[in-house]
Amino acid sequence: MAEALVETQGLVKEYRLGPHVVHALRGVSVRMRRGEFVAVMGPSGSGKSTFMNLLGCLDTPTAGRYLLDGEDVSHLSRDTLARIRNQKIGFVFQGFNLLPRISALENVELPLLYDGTPPSERRPKARAKLEAVGLADREHHHPAQLSGGQQQRVAIARALVNNPLLVLADEPTGNLDSRTSVEVMALFQELNRNGITIVLVTHEADIAQYAARALSFRDGKVIQDQPVAEPKDAEALLATLPPLEVEA
């Protein structure tokens, strides 16, 4: 089998709260190849965000190993993890997390400020990603001047600007109406067809149906890991829905 992009071996995460120990992950072993589109499901408190934080090098495990692109990142220093994160991982959050006082284009440029990209290269790189998410004509808009779906597309462009190996999305449709959610899933599907590896947390079963593989967590363990039988095609579904609003 080709080397995995993500490989976790018996990943354990415990949080200490005074005298109590919270067992957030109780031994999670998964492999993901490049180019996969994986949905992570499970009830609240089952360990999904803890798992994503570890995959995203935002935290380190209590026990077990995590190999990212073949490199053991389980016990690296915070600084080294930050560097790996900037180079290899793009994040998309439920609440978009855009800075309100700067333009869409400047928001997309932000990760490039931290990784030493020369100023002259930042703008064209950011512009290319805004174009890739269909927002070339909105580059000077501020987040408040954009719809929720457009804001999430800006956040996705920002996640892509460093050409990451892996895009992690935690409930990216959680704040969106159902049509806009399908639009965002259409974008993720298109990115995935172009080779981007995506791991997406959702508690909505129908959103998971746009991925190719679904992992289910319960009580800190993976209780199910299987291909999505017939992934839904978001673009095809959109074609059958009437538009909700006329875009300004």
Identify the residue among 1, 2, 17, 236 touching ligand ADP (CB under 6 A).
17
- Containing 200, the helix (H) or strand (E) segment is strand 197-201
Instruction: Report residue 176: phi and psi, to 5°.
Output: -115, 150
Q: Find which of Mg ion, ligand ADP, none residue 77 binds, CB within 5 to 8 Å per kind.
A: none
Which CB, 30 or 104, lies closer to ligand ADP? 30
Q: Does residue 49 belong to the site contacting ligand ADP (CB under 6 A)?
A: yes
What's the gap between Cα 26 and its chain centre? Answer: 23
Which CB, 47 or 61, lies closer to Mg ion? 47
Q: Does residue 94 belong to the site contacting ligand ADP (CB under 6 A)?
A: no
Q: Does residue 18 belong to the site contacting ligand ADP (CB under 6 A)?
A: no
Which CB, 40 or 185, lies closer to ligand ADP? 40
Cβ–Cβ < 8 Å for 112, 161: yes
Identify the residue among 46, 74, 181, 189 touching ligand ADP (CB under 6 A).
46
For 105-137, the DSSP string reads HHHHHHHHHHTT--HHHHHHHHHHHHHHTT-GG
DSSP-based three-state secondary structure for 235? helix
Binding site for ligand ADP (CB under 6 A): 15, 17, 22, 24, 42, 44-50
